[in-house]
Amino acid sequence: MSVIGYELPQGATGFHLWQVLVTGEIRVRTVDWVTPLPPGLDADYSTPDGDVYVSEVLLPLSCDRCSSTEGHIGQGRWDDQLTLTCSRCGTGWVARWAGLSDEAETEASRQLLRQIVVQSGSAPYTVPGDRVREIRDDLQAGRWTPSRADQTLARELLLAVSGDPGPEAIARCMAATLPDRPLRSARFSEALARTVGLLRDPGAGIGAEPERSLVLDVVMDLARTVAAMDPAALRTEPEAAADTP
Ligand SMILES: [Zn+2]
């Protein structure tokens, strides 16, 4: 694969933890093994299995759990491999894909993280919790209306997270309400996925611990607000495109 060099955004350090929401698909070039052989093509006996046709394709990275290919939170420090968190179910995984050697795959994953960071135009002085605070502030300012599905999830969170304030409890609640996901608010899903990603981050970046507990406080504050709202004031239809950021 060709290697494009990406430059660390000005003002950022290698310790900075980036978190970027990619609303569309993240497509990667990979090798596809197609069986049986398409008509008219000769078998390629250079592969371990001669009746397998090998081609290069672009495939979207998909969630290990719910197969979603969109709305992933990309995360990592500049020299890390790309870690993804699914904004539907909270599942996290390190982006790797078939057809490359371990070494090449590690480098490709690192380059993909850098590409996502650079193309997002994220400012180096923002911290992962800034967006979660913005989502809470948007709710308080009436810029989005939670749905009844959000309220169900918020109530589940208050019960689950009070006993277990870790990322897996939040992710379990997100996964448990997957059937309602089309009715969830994009902002609420994003806030939860960002929090899950941050809480899972093993890095010891400067200020990481206080930021983690602050962000957990903000997201639980958001959940309490949504849980306490009058159901009559909540959205019952899927979010209009104009409401999604
Ligand atoms: Zn998922």
pLDDT value at position 218?
Answer: 94
Distance, CA 170 to ligand 1 centroid (Å)? 13
Distance, CA 207 to ligand 1 centroid (Å)? 29
Distance, CA 70 to ligand 1 centroid (Å)? 9
In whole angstroms, what is the distance from residue 221 CA to residue 230 CA? 16
Give the HSE-up count for residue 102: Cα atoms under 13 Å, Cβ half-sphere.
0
pLDDT value at position 185?
Answer: 96
Residue 90: left if φ>0, alpha if ψ -120 to 50, beta else—which one? Answer: left
Distance, CA 72 to ligand 1 centroid (Å)? 8
pLDDT value at position 198?
Answer: 92
Distance, CA 182 to ligand 1 centroid (Å)? 13
pLDDT value at position 2?
Answer: 45
Positions of the chain with pLDDT lower than 50, given as ranges = 1-2
In whole angstroms, what is the distance from residue 242 CA to residue 245 CA? 8
pLDDT value at position 1?
Answer: 42
Distance, CA 169 to ligand 1 centroid (Å)? 15
Distance, CA 136 to ligand 1 centroid (Å)? 23
Distance, CA 223 to ligand 1 centroid (Å)? 20
Distances (CA, A) of 196 to 20, 79, 84, 132, 201: 13, 21, 11, 11, 9
pLDDT value at position 116?
Answer: 94
Distance, CA 94 to ligand 1 centroid (Å)? 13
pLDDT value at position 223?
Answer: 97
pTM of the model: 0.87
pLDDT single digits (tens) 131-162: 999 999 999 999 999 999 999 999 999 999 88
Distance, CA 206 to ligand 1 centroid (Å)? 30
Distance, CA 196 to ligand 1 centroid (Å)? 12
Distance, CA 155 to ligand 1 centroid (Å)? 20
